[in-house]
A = this chain, B = another copy of it.
């Protein structure tokens, strides 16, 4: 029913041209008398006129809109991240399109196309799929649409900004902690080695062991898939006859650590008295829950907010001091590693 009020309506109401109204709306440098400004302001206020963003964007080519592409909001890490992104967007007058891809390449492609059609000013991109490189990024790059990666290195686009978590450092920190507690026989359950972060975490573990002069027993290093079940299964493998004993187990993420915990308990081991356990991610649950798992915290909110800041800086044409920001890891000791 009620047609929206346009700039033309205001112009008529004030008996001025739309150009003049436009100038006061954008409190443009000058060219409008004080009294006129006052009058127009008042009318705008009274009738509640708000400029149509679409029309503005048509001509300015700027939508104040970004696309946020992630695998799944339901993953707590990503909901933290999303909130960080959205907060920074909002502070800066941007709105954010949320896209869930489940890490599937075709959905990623689809969303990239959609977002380009919608003329987003920038794109924030996360995935857990780092096997395949999406050539659509090259298009974005050619079109000079700002891009910021989250936890993803793209060799083809070396100068594209990104925010990262220091997976290797986190794993090193955790491994050192376990070593310092006196453990020497440490099992490691990695995430899927097809992913960058699983490889980094593993290498952080290996390097730290080596640096401390502790030999890694290959038979105690197994690969999981970041899911609970694979942690459970890993314990079965590690406890098989002929395998060496171990006093601590480091998992590539908390979920696998929990799976491992369950398997150990079911097999009659006491955690941490018989076997200590550590995870990665700091999946945060109300502190009432048991077990508590010593872990490495990944600052999802921070990654999101800083990534967005970098993206916005780019969109504003500000030169970036650093194009790749790496966030340090923090250890969360929850007592699941005992001194021996």
Contacts and interface: CB of A to CB of B under 8 A. Distances in A.
A247 interface: no
A82 interface: yes
Interface string A71-99: 01110100110110011001000011111
A52 B61 CA distance: 11
A57 B118 CA distance: 10
A57 to B, nearest CB: 5
Contacts of A2: 142-144
A41 to B, nearest CB: 17
Interface in A102-122: 113-114, 116-119
Interface string A279-319: 00000011011110000000000000000000000000000
A54 interface: yes
Contact of A73 (B54, B86, B116): B86
A47 interface: no
6 contacts: A1-B144, A50-B117, A68-B98, A74-B80, A82-B98, A86-B99
Contacts of A73: 73, 79, 82-83, 86
A262 interface: yes
A259 interface: yes
Given A54-B54, A55-B58, A73-B73, 6 more contacts: A1-B142, A52-B117, A74-B83, A86-B98, A95-B114, A258-B286
